[in-house]
Amino acid sequence: MPGRLMVFAGSGSPLLTARICGVLGIEPAAGEVLTFSDGNTFVRVLENVRGADTYVVQSIVHRTNDYLVELLFWVDALKRASAGSVTAVIPYFGYGKGDKKDEPRVSIRARVCADALEAAGCDRVVTMDLHAPQIQGFFRIPVDNLYGHPTLCARIRELTPEGCVVVAPDTGFADEARMYADYLGTTVAIGDKQRTSHDESAEIMDIIGDVRGRDAVIVDDFVVSGGTLAEAAKLLLRKGARRVFAAVTHGVLAMAARDRIDRSPITRLLVTDTVEGHPAPLPAKLEVVTVAPCFGEAIGRINRQDSVSAMFPGQAAHR
Amino acid sequence: MPGRLMVFAGSGSPLLTARICGVLGIEPAAGEVLTFSDGNTFVRVLENVRGADTYVVQSIVHRTNDYLVELLFWVDALKRASAGSVTAVIPYFGYGKGDKKDEPRVSIRARVCADALEAAGCDRVVTMDLHAPQIQGFFRIPVDNLYGHPTLCARIRELTPEGCVVVAPDTGFADEARMYADYLGTTVAIGDKQRTSHDESAEIMDIIGDVRGRDAVIVDDFVVSGGTLAEAAKLLLRKGARRVFAAVTHGVLAMAARDRIDRSPITRLLVTDTVEGHPAPLPAKLEVVTVAPCFGEAIGRINRQDSVSAMFPGQAAHR
Amino acid sequence: MPGRLMVFAGSGSPLLTARICGVLGIEPAAGEVLTFSDGNTFVRVLENVRGADTYVVQSIVHRTNDYLVELLFWVDALKRASAGSVTAVIPYFGYGKGDKKDEPRVSIRARVCADALEAAGCDRVVTMDLHAPQIQGFFRIPVDNLYGHPTLCARIRELTPEGCVVVAPDTGFADEARMYADYLGTTVAIGDKQRTSHDESAEIMDIIGDVRGRDAVIVDDFVVSGGTLAEAAKLLLRKGARRVFAAVTHGVLAMAARDRIDRSPITRLLVTDTVEGHPAPLPAKLEVVTVAPCFGEAIGRINRQDSVSAMFPGQAAHR
Amino acid sequence: MPGRLMVFAGSGSPLLTARICGVLGIEPAAGEVLTFSDGNTFVRVLENVRGADTYVVQSIVHRTNDYLVELLFWVDALKRASAGSVTAVIPYFGYGKGDKKDEPRVSIRARVCADALEAAGCDRVVTMDLHAPQIQGFFRIPVDNLYGHPTLCARIRELTPEGCVVVAPDTGFADEARMYADYLGTTVAIGDKQRTSHDESAEIMDIIGDVRGRDAVIVDDFVVSGGTLAEAAKLLLRKGARRVFAAVTHGVLAMAARDRIDRSPITRLLVTDTVEGHPAPLPAKLEVVTVAPCFGEAIGRINRQDSVSAMFPGQAAHR
Amino acid sequence: MPGRLMVFAGSGSPLLTARICGVLGIEPAAGEVLTFSDGNTFVRVLENVRGADTYVVQSIVHRTNDYLVELLFWVDALKRASAGSVTAVIPYFGYGKGDKKDEPRVSIRARVCADALEAAGCDRVVTMDLHAPQIQGFFRIPVDNLYGHPTLCARIRELTPEGCVVVAPDTGFADEARMYADYLGTTVAIGDKQRTSHDESAEIMDIIGDVRGRDAVIVDDFVVSGGTLAEAAKLLLRKGARRVFAAVTHGVLAMAARDRIDRSPITRLLVTDTVEGHPAPLPAKLEVVTVAPCFGEAIGRINRQDSVSAMFPGQAAHR
Amino acid sequence: MPGRLMVFAGSGSPLLTARICGVLGIEPAAGEVLTFSDGNTFVRVLENVRGADTYVVQSIVHRTNDYLVELLFWVDALKRASAGSVTAVIPYFGYGKGDKKDEPRVSIRARVCADALEAAGCDRVVTMDLHAPQIQGFFRIPVDNLYGHPTLCARIRELTPEGCVVVAPDTGFADEARMYADYLGTTVAIGDKQRTSHDESAEIMDIIGDVRGRDAVIVDDFVVSGGTLAEAAKLLLRKGARRVFAAVTHGVLAMAARDRIDRSPITRLLVTDTVEGHPAPLPAKLEVVTVAPCFGEAIGRINRQDSVSAMFPGQAAHR
């Protein structure tokens, strides 16, 4: 049996950690993180952890590298302090986007992170809606990839009491959109997005599927600037949608996002609290739903050695 | 500088190896593979390889496990014989399909293969059209993932002199289809494929994009039974396509494929020679184009330390 | 303490697994193995295994590479599903014969297997009568090498109530033959086998030791074709032996074995059930004794953290 | 022989890289680093590097974690692009201060960095005046630790033409101060520094050694706030020193440093250019001497396989 | 929870092991070490250790290499016998002195030892007063570095009832001397030691700090020949010290030590029993205090998963 | 191509190293080994080795652990000094006898040595007549196992001009004895050795094969006390042998050997110079033949990347 359960808050996820601990009915374990004037990060665990089943909650985004390196130091500090096991809980793993060599001579950054975490002594990773499911294979240690859609769908049902159509902004998210649609018992429409030049931007050309007279819910795994959502919303309204919502697991929401979202025809943007501590002001239309119950239950199950996949019945067929 | 170039033929790719050596203007290096009556595989290198830059060409499919294990033995034998470097050339890496935990408690088989190859001492992998580009990240060693579409497109141009529309059988292959279309200077149509039940089969519901009066070329990375191709071909004809071709990198072509392809309205099925030694009779409509020039050039460039990505200008933007 | 005990049946050992579970008084744990039409193997664990003390029983022979790769996938699937520990129970480890570089530029195949198993995450190996005891040293993880002779000797005593002489077919098995003889309280004779040419076959020239008027029991670790046994049996009868039996741990028994054994003067060939699912018909003279009690007791002891070596008092002095 | 020499500029050391390349008579190799709006770092190598002997120059300080992670991505990108060897040139390794568990349950951060660099594929490290020489032992790969004092002493000689006394600010730097003194042919005085409470600050109580009427040069490996230097300078003047200089390898120089240094009685503060791109304005009394010739010669010697220790004759006896 | 506690005596520490076991109220576990006539060492564990929490106590000094290699064999034997965990208790780790490349082309011997121990399967190290605290960072596994000064100070208090001044023989031990002084509530004096030539010897030039009329206690981490202690004692008396004691954790005490110590003006030399089995006769002035209670408590705490750092409150601020 | 060839003499093999260098026409490279009064070993390389192809010659016997640990330090020092490759030349690898768990809870000592050498950074091993060929599989790095019998047979031919019979002292050396016999074009006799009790000694009961009137040459891989040889010699004379010689690769020759050999009826005992620096006086009947030409040629071939197995044509069939 694993040892007693201890959950530490990384600098990137203090609020979510507090909520998770609330769900688990425990206090966050005592530790501290300092940043010195030369830019160095310093982590100190303030309680005995020998033999304990320890978790560090740390999203890796915005101050991406600070949070990544801090997480490595948490893991090393806990291992050298003889923790029984160390689990990195990474609600949003921002370097998941670096999952392939999509051009010559670049790094596969997610693999670099995986290797560094394993080298530091990490025993397990818990995360949510990885950018690509293959990233689990970058790790040798077990990875529990939780799903955000059940949490978001519960709120979508309240917002669209007459039902909705789920919209994938591009073909790459079609499978995940079907997962939402199945969960909601509805259908899917898909944006036909094409890159128009060599820069990052891409344009949504068309929506495949009927949205007329229905509430449309655009779904995605993360939102940075909100540009794609705003563009898709306009197109959906032109195509006859009644109202447009968006439901996105990871609300990265960088600088320009507030204006783009608030000026868009989107009625409301749902995100979870995997990302917090945004450096930029947030859109007024934003609504945050917490995934603390989901992470709390997963951590409790891991500690009790119950099945985590049993939390998500029926999801296997989709990926 | 790497040592002298030596290319060994694994049991899974003797013909392609011979063709590659022809391109390189060398003889295949001397080695042999035995299978004993107890089922054991045995590999013997028959030439001095000290310091040499060695390559073993071995597709992993059909006798998948035999070829995988044999490849491990090749690598180990070469390393213990003090080869300077050992490159596994895997034209078709069949376990690429095992790239994620798409249901609970399964193995990420491609990662297992990657770890076993690295444990055996492999220094580099050269392959073609990996099932998912993330698989490069399963390896710590460099992986050169070559593209099959330039080879196939050269023949497509001859077969469809008046131009064609490229068809992705489902949204998951849309990006790759655009790579074909860009290469051919044409447009893309996409099949809307949906799984209808919990079994493996899926049905193509619709074709998005205009195919009327045009030759259609369905593209994919591998074909096993040909069922998807046959179904798509019928639908394309119903949608007004003139003729239907298919161009697929890896012609796995298991038992039922001959009948399905030959009875389908497909005019011709193009595949490359990454797969050979099929256990089943092949369709009459099949046409094989060789990728030996592509692999030969890549091996030559690696040995001379020239850029491999320079073989595929302009592909970076697509993946 | 280890977690709850779960025993999975690999495709190579379903019957032995069922018998072992019978000994342990448990049901085999739920899992399945599929082979797809492209030759790929797929393993799925169907029960929660978090924290469990898991065992996969899989002999590696006949479909040697299929069973080896399948075992790697079992181990990886169990580790990624957070099993507490994973033990590979390999009743017959066929690649044990690949234990040295007995000629230039060959692979040490047993080490390749060991490295691949460890890379996949295997925590321990349980096996029987390894071809060479040094193979334990190919692994960094603990290896429990069980002995088959107590099981076989129990039946030998019944078959030769007036006692017997134990016969090693060649000098290389002399030590093991003495282990049998000590266990039975009798003496040893040794075949003087010499390779007569560069091929695999070897001829038994003479028998050293007196066999006149006694029942002779030829012992060996494995039998493939039965040629050596048949030849030794003839020579023993010429030397005056009363009857000739053979007792061999691993009954590989390939194609030609039935004829060779049944036409030989051997009265009965005893083997254990470490090998099952033979592709070839079995000799009529064959008698199988089960080692399930031995493996069951070892697994139970490992799970309870009792000594395994205590199962074999007095064997230390022989190897 | 190593391949052709290529030197890449990390974001933390563009100026020093340019100077090093000037010394070597080559252009910096082409690469780029992007920071996305979600905080992610992205590295791209823009030239073929197959078989090349590559160096990335990157000090790790100020934006410590950004530069560390960026360096990992450089190394991974170069290894995956088949560079012959990858050397991390880290002029100032800021996490060298995290070299021990000086209190319970902290991370040994320098070891975490070492493991991450090795996991990413780094082949060698070149650095200068490591905070503790033991840090070389945190790496399995070779580490060339260059000395900064010959560069600084050349300028000290010019500034103190009548000779000087070398001052170590505390006993922990006494050995290094003797290295300076031997190089300059002079004597040493040592500050008796004692921590006065549990916070970070410490007070210099006394100066051991005679400084009356002489120019004093305080030496140290790094300066962050300048507080210790300012305090030591006052004490030295009280003890009768003529003028006070300071010579410090790594001029970290955080926020408060400008005021502290400029208001102190220090005549001039010498630092090298291992640190650049300071976020804060620099003291007017600062003078920077370049170590580019030292790094350039070391890189050239490594590439030509000449001895690096031969650059520092007679230093062995001091450490 | 760890398994049952078992403590084995290595050949280098039989007496200390017996004392530790006395403290713990257990018998030493059964094992034996043989040295064959060809010089080979052989280790045999004589009890079942499956799942047990095992400790081997072995100082590495005098027969340094014999004890190091023997320790590797203990670790390997225990791991292969399925011990739950293996802790190397190394009261004196003699190769700690090999902690850096203090001259070109030497080995970092402490890292070599660390890697060999980890490769053999060691899970943890417990040691005392490491020569440099950075050595913890040579290990990836947790290292508990115990302090010897509380044990020595208890006896110092008895020997110097009117108080004493603590003397560091050189600046390199100044921090540790302050640790003694804080513990005793007194002050520190520091020897100014300078190497006078290129050989190993160094001369103490002066004592910084007032020792007049007081008992002086020279402290150090190890004593080999006693030369430095004798020299410092003479100087202290010349400087007006009343009596001179020495307190050193590790009493290596090689050949010449007896004469040097006994002829010196040192009143008494205190050492602990981390070193035993000296090949040379010991000084008459020597007094040994046992650290068995310290090691016994640490082992008990590790086995019960209590904090070890809690044994040394307030030490964090010193290192 | 490997770099320039440098051969270092370990403390265990200075004479053999000098002879090997003579064969190669080079001077031994400059290095030194010190033993301090605390028992520590210290290794220093005294020449630049960057990029060089380095070899350390060190037999591991008599002062077994000293030589093993010294070898680890050589390897580490050379790797950290950036040697291009490091080969451990171990003429006699004494821990080869620790190749299996021949009783419960012992270490597989040869694997521990292999892991420690690889952890230290060793790239290759060259050795002679390993105690078991499986030991090559304990290493992941290439191992060149040279044969001693051609060197010994050249002298045997001179000593027995009328031919001889080769005698294996027990069945375990029968295969190797046939290798001698084939090389000499003669026949083999085998001793039937049985352990008579639980101690180490064993008694030769009988000789199988005709030795009457012929010179007999007992062959073995190592001789420690000479007891077996003396006993076998007596028996051979009783069986009618004309004269008895012995030819053994590794002359360990511990304390009692001189008397046993000189008092035995053996005419002459041939050994090679893989072992030197014996602590005991050597037998008068001893004759040493050098294997320096064999090792020299092997090293030269490795450096030139020629085949080493080509030195031993026809040996493959025997093992």
Confidence band of A202 (pLDDT split at 50, 70, 90): low
Confidence band of F201 (pLDDT split at 50, 70, 90): low
Q: Which residues share a beta bridge with D184? A: none
Structural domain spans, chain C: 5-146+293-318, 149-290
Ordered mean pLDDT values, 10 residues apiece, chain D (319 residues): 91 98 98 97 98 98 98 98 97 97 95 98 98 97 98 98 94 91 94 57 75 97 95 95 98 94 97 96 97 98 96 65
Predicted pLDDT at C202: 58
Predicted pLDDT at C196: 45
Name the nearest CA neighbour of E189 among E154, E153, E241, E137: E241
Predicted pLDDT at B26: 98
pLDDT at C183 over 60: yes
Chain-chain contact of D66 with A65 (C-beta, under 8 angstroms): yes
Residue C280 contacts B where some CB pair is shorter than 8 Å: no
pLDDT at B95 over 50: yes
Residue numbers in D near E134 (CB within 8 A)? 99-100, 132, 134-135, 137-138
Question: Cα angle vertex E19, ends E14, E22, to 5°?
Answer: 125
Q: Closest residue of C to E79, CA-based?
A: C142
Name the nearest CA neighbour of C38 among F100, B94, E219: B94
Predicted pLDDT at F291: 98
Distance CA F309, CA F316 (A): 9
Are the beta carbons of B190 and B167 closer than 8 angstroms? yes
Q: Closest residue of A to C53, CA-based?
A: A1
Q: Closest residue of F to B119, CA-based?
A: F140
pLDDT at C266 over 50: yes
pLDDT at A160 over 70: yes
pLDDT at A319 over 50: no
| Touching C: F residues 197-256, CB under 8 Å | 198, 208
Each residue's pLDDT tens digit, A57-111: 999 999 999 999 999 999 999 999 999 999 999 999 999 999 999 899 999 999 9
Nearest-Cα distance to chain B for C268, in Å, is 22
DSSP string, F99-134: -S--STTB--HHHHHHHHHHHHT--EEEEES-SSGG
To test the contact with chain F by mutation, choose from C134, C176, C207 the residue with the greatest count of F C-beta atoms within 10 A, namely C134
Predicted pLDDT at F199: 45
Each residue's pLDDT tens digit, E48-69: 999 999 999 999 999 999 999 9
Residue F104 contacts E where some CB pair is shorter than 8 Å: yes
Residue D2 contacts F where some CB pair is shorter than 8 Å: yes
Confidence band of C102 (pLDDT split at 50, 70, 90): confident
Active site residues of D: 193
Nearest-Cα distance to chain D for F118, in Å, is 12
Please tell me the CATH code under which domain B149-290 is placed: 3.40.50.2020
Backbone phi, psi, residue D98, to 5°:
-90, 65
CA atoms lying within 13 Å on the CB side of residue E265: 17
Q: Which of A1, A52, A80 sits opposite E142 (nearest CB)?
A: A80
Model-level pTM greater than 0.90? yes
Nearest-Cα distance to chain C for F209, in Å, is 10
pLDDT at C317 over 50: no
Predicted pLDDT at E208: 82
Chain-chain contact of A143 with C80 (C-beta, under 8 angstroms): yes
Lowest mean pLDDT among C203-207, D288-292, F26-30: C203-207
Q: What is the DSSP letter of D233?
A: H
Predicted pLDDT at F282: 97
Q: What percent of chain F lies above the pLDDT cut of 70?
A: 94
Confidence band of F162 (pLDDT split at 50, 70, 90): very high
Chain-chain contact of F305 with B3 (C-beta, under 8 angstroms): yes
pLDDT at A146 over 70: yes
Predicted pLDDT at A197: 44
Predicted pLDDT at A318: 41
Residue A143 contacts C where some CB pair is shorter than 8 Å: yes
Residue numbers in A near C79 (CB within 8 A)? 142
- Report how far Cα A185 is from the mean position of its chain's Cα atoms: 23
- Residue D255's H or E segment, with its range, is none
Predicted pLDDT at C197: 44
Chain-chain contact of C255 with B37 (C-beta, under 8 angstroms): yes
Distance CA D317, CA D314 (A): 7
Predicted pLDDT at E319: 39
Q: What is the mean pLDDT of residues F255-267?
A: 95
Residue type, E189: A
pLDDT at B1 over 70: no
- Report how far Cα F155 is from the mean position of its chain's Cα atoms: 17
Residue type, D12: G
Predicted pLDDT at D250: 98
Each residue's pLDDT tens digit, D12-61: 999 999 999 999 999 999 999 999 999 999 999 999 999 999 999 999 99
Do C5-146+293-318 and C149-290 fold alike per CATH?
Answer: yes
pLDDT at C1 over 80: no
**CB within 8 Å of A133: residues ≥ 6 apart:** A145, A319, B100, B101, B102
Predicted pLDDT at D209: 85
Distance CA E307, CA A82 (A): 10
| Touching D: E residues 22-81, CB under 8 Å | none
Q: Which of B3, B48, B79 sits opposite F306 (nearest CB)?
A: B48
Distance CA C246, CA A203 (A): 77
Task: Give CA torsion, residues B145, B150, B156, B157, to 10 deg.
Answer: 170
Each residue's pLDDT tens digit, C24-59: 999 999 999 999 999 999 999 999 999 999 999 999
Chains that touch A (3 or more CB pairs under 8 A): B, C, D, E
Predicted pLDDT at F196: 45
pLDDT at F276 over 70: yes
Ranges of residues in chain E whose predicted pLDDT is under 50: 196-200, 317-319
Each residue's pLDDT tens digit, F90-142: 999 999 999 999 899 999 999 999 999 999 999 999 999 999 999 999 999 99
Predicted pLDDT at B42: 98
- CATH 3.40.50.720 is the classification of domain F5-146+293-318: no
Lowest mean pLDDT among A138-147, B127-136, B280-289, E163-172: E163-172
Each residue's pLDDT tens digit, C245-261: 999 999 999 988 999 99
Chain-chain contact of F307 with B79 (C-beta, under 8 angstroms): no
Chain-chain contact of A305 with C50 (C-beta, under 8 angstroms): yes
- Report how far Cα D280 is from the mean position of its chain's Cα atoms: 18
Residue numbers in E near F112 (CB within 8 A)? 72-73, 76, 119-120
Q: What is the mean pLDDT of residues F193-197?
A: 54
Q: How many Å from the N-terminal Cα to the C-terminal Cα in chain D?
A: 31
Output the CA–CA distances (angstroms, integers) from residue D223 to A38, B104, C8, D252, E91, in the order listed: 10, 54, 62, 6, 38
